[in-house]
Amino acid sequence: MTEARITHIGGPTTLIEAAGWRLLTDPTFDPPGRRYSFGWGTSSRKTSGPALKTSELPPLDAVLLTHDHHADNLDTAGRALLPSADVVLTTPSGAVRLGGTAHGLAPWDTWRLESPGRPAIEVTATPARHGPPLSRPLVGEVTGFALRWEGQRHGALWVTGDTVLYDGVREVAQRVDVGTVLLHLGGVRFPLTGPLRYTMTAAPALELCRLLRPRTVLPVHYEGWSHFQEGRRAVEAALAAADADLSARFTWLPAGTPLDVTV
């Protein structure tokens, strides 16, 4: 039985230990209290700190960075951590900004993590749109990541990235057999832009999961920042009204405590 050990550190940040590899998603390790500008008059305050310190992390083989230009996905301490990883996989524009070991992947591009004595992990960039139609020039590039390696029994491990539900994300359900999904939620909204949402709320998230039919759904990116407008309670209420089979697929990761997930 193949397992991945996943530790939720806070916000979108997770440590994925699988097939002998250690991968970190969207590093955010600053303490709470600071307010960060997201551009165009939008900002957010970090309301809770990470469950682990950077000093408590194991050596990292790779960082999977869905985007580099918003502090709730890469804050100051997280940025300082990047050089310690062998490779940083991110968007093409993010790789240009970061330099160093960063490599940019356009949607459906693939990168192979390879090392003697370990099965290779195939990392495929997946489409994401961090807001409503036509918002990409304002909010910038975002990507998701689908991870495949030899021995998986239930399909790929997919990190959605910060995205709304749109045709590009639905395409993942058509092209990738997803067994486990790290589902970015939060219903991000800002006073300046009114009702517009920049990540999924519960309803579209459940619609996506009905398309995917994954074995395991692991929600992340729903707590710890003031611009997250929909938390766990709202998602659980939506799940209570959904069919029992779908609800049973959701597992809430305990902060800072590793969880072994059958993949």
- CATH number of the domain where residue 76 is located: 3.60.15.10
195 is a domain residue: yes
261 is a domain residue: no
pLDDT of 1 over the 70 cut: no
CA dihedral 166, 43, 143, 234 (to 10 degrees): -50
Q: What are phi and psi of 204, to 5 degrees?
A: -65, -30
258 is a domain residue: no
152 is a domain residue: yes
Residue 12 CA to residue 66 CA, distance in Å, equals: 10
Which has the closest alpha carbon to 252: 52, 6, 85, 50?
6
- Structure confidence at residue 255 as a pLDDT band (50, 70, 90): very high
Higher per-residue confidence, 135 vs 224: 224
125 is a domain residue: yes
Q: Domain tally for the chain?
A: 1
Q: In the numeric block, which tokens belong to residue 14?
A: 């997770």
199 is a domain residue: yes
- Amino acid residing at 209: C
257 is a domain residue: no
State the pTM of this model: 0.97
pLDDT tens digits, one per residue of 102-128: 999 999 999 999 999 999 999 999 999
21 is a domain residue: yes
Domain that holds residue 129: 3-252
Phi-psi region of 167 (alpha: psi -120 to 50; beta: other; left: phi over 0): alpha
Amino acid 243: pLDDT: 86
Average pLDDT of the chain is 96
Residue 179 CA to residue 79 CA, distance in Å, equals: 30
- Structure confidence at residue 191 as a pLDDT band (50, 70, 90): confident
221-246: burial string, b at 16+ Cβ within 10 Å, e else: bbbbbebbbbeeebbeebbeebeeee
pLDDT tens digits, one per residue of 9-61: 999 999 999 999 999 999 999 999 999 998 878 899 999 999 999 999 999 99
